[in-house]
Structure 1
Amino acid sequence: MTGGGRASDGPDDGVRDARRIPGPRGAADDLDPRSTPAPSPPPPGGAPPDTPVPAQSEPDEAVAVPGAPVRDEGAAEGPVPVLSHRVLKALLGAWALAACSGEETAAVEDHLTECAPCAEEALRLRDAVGLLHTGGSLDLDPTLRNRVLDGCLGRRPARIPVPGWAAPYDAETARLDALLRDIGDAEWHAPVRLRWFEQERATSRRTTVAGVIAHLTAVDGLLSAALGLDDPLVGGEAPLDPAERTERYWSATRPPSTRAVREPWRDQSHELIRTASFAGRNVAELSVSYGHFALPLQDALLDRSFECWVHGGDIADAVDYPYEAPSAAHLHRMIDLAARLLPAALAGRRRTGLAGPARELVTPGAPGRSLHLEIEGHGGGDWYIALDSPAAVGSPDRAVAQVALDGVEFCRLAAGHVPPVEAAAGQEGDREAIRDVLFAAASLSRL
Structure 2
Amino acid sequence: MGPVGPGEPGRAGGLRGTAGPGGPQGPDRPGSAQDEVSGGPPRIPLPRSSVEDTGLPLPTPVPTPAPEPLVLDHRVLESLLGAWALAACSAQETAAVEEHLGECGSCADEALRLREAVGLLHPPETLDLDPALRTRVLEGCLGRRPPRIPVPDWAAPYDAETARLDALLQDIGDAEWHTPVRLRWFDGEGPASRRTTVAGVIAHLITVDGLVAVALGLDDPLGTPPREATPAARTEAYWSASHFPHTRSVRGPWREQSHNLVRTVAFAGGGSGRLPVPYGAFELPLSDSMLDRAFECWVHAGDIAEAVDYPYDPPAPRHLHGMIDLAARMLPASLAERRRAGLSTAAPRHLVAAGAPGRSLRLEIEGSGGGEWLIPLDSPGAVASADHEVAHVALDGVEFCRLAAGHVSPEEAAAGQDGDREAIRDVLFAAASLSRM
TM-score normalised to structure 2 length: 0.72
Equivalent pairs, count: 333
CA deviation profile, 1:258-297 (whole Å, cap 9, x unmatched) = 0000010010000000000001232110000001000000
User: What is the RMSD computed on CA atoms of the aligned residues?
Assistant: 2.4
Q: Does 1:222 align with 2:211?
A: yes
Asked whether the 8 Å contact 1:142–1:178 carries over to 2, the reply is: no
- Cα separation, 1, equivalents of 2:342 and 2:246: 40
Distance change in 2, residues 1:253/1:133 (3 Å):
farther
Retained in 2: the 8 A contact 1:238–1:245? no
Q: Match for residue 324 of structure 1?
A: 313
Find the aligned partners of 2:375 and 2:431 in 1 and give their Cα distance. Answer: 11
Deviation by residue 1:360-381 (Cα, 9 ceiling, x = unmatched): 2489974111111011111111
CA displacement at 1:206 relative to structure 2? 0.7
Asked if 2 retains the 8 angstrom alpha-carbon contact of 1:202 and 1:416, the reply is yes
Q: Distance in 1 between matches of 2:90 and 2:225?
A: 79
> Which residue, out of 344, 348, 370, partners 1:358?
348
Matches within 5 A, 1:39-78: 66=83, 67-72=87-92
Cα pair distance change 1:189/1:199, threshold 3 Å: same
Describe the shift of the 1:172–1:364 C-alpha distance in structure 2 as closer, same or farther (beyond 3 A): closer
Task: Name the structure 1 match of 2:26.
Answer: none
Alignment of 1:444 with 2:437, yes or no, is: no
Q: Which has the larger radius of gyration?
A: 2
Flag the 1:131–1:249 CA change in 2: closer, same or farther, 3 A.
farther
Cα displacement string for residues 116-139 of structure 1 (whole angstroms, at most 9, x for unaligned residues) = xxxxxxxxxxxxxx9998743222
User: Paired residue for 2:398?
Assistant: 408
Within the candidate set 175, 188, 192, 2:177 is matched to 188
Deviation at 1:176, TM superposition (A): 0.5
| 1:70 maps to amino acid | S
Deviation at 1:239, TM superposition (A): 3.8
Specify the alignment match of 2:30 in structure 1. none
Aligned ranges for residues 245-260 of structure 1 at < 5 Å?
245-260=234-249
- 310, 316, 319: which one pairs with 2:299? 310
- The alignment partner of 1:188 has SS state of helix
Within 5 Å, give how 1:114-263 maps onto structure 2: 135-235=124-224, 237=226, 239-263=228-252
**1:392 aligned to 2:382?**
yes
C-alpha distance in 2 between matches for 1:205 and 1:437? 25
Work out the CA distance in 2 between the residues paired with 1:302 and 1:276.
Answer: 13
The change in CA–CA distance for 1:186 and 1:367 in structure 2 (over 3 A counts) is: same
SS at match of 1:395: strand
Query: Share of identical aligned residues, percent?
Result: 70
Unaligned stretches of 5+ residues in structure 2: 1-75, 96-118
Amino acid at match of 1:184: G
- In 2: Cα distance, 1:345 partner to 1:131 partner: 53
The reply to whether residue 379 of structure 1 matches residue 406 of structure 2 is no
Q: Which amino acid aligns with 2:303?
A: D
CA distance in 2, matches of 1:203, 1:364: 35
Aligned residue identity for 2:320: L
Residues 179 and 198 of structure 2 are in contact (CA less than 8 Å); yes or no, is this contact kept in structure 1? yes
Does the 8 Å CA contact 1:403/1:424 hold for their aligned counterparts? no
Tell me the equivalent position of 1:288.
Answer: 277
Q: Distance in 1 between matches of 2:121 and 2:309?
A: 24
Gapped regions of structure 1 (runs ≥ 5): 1-60, 76-129
Q: Is the 8 A contact 2:355 2:381 kept in 1?
A: no
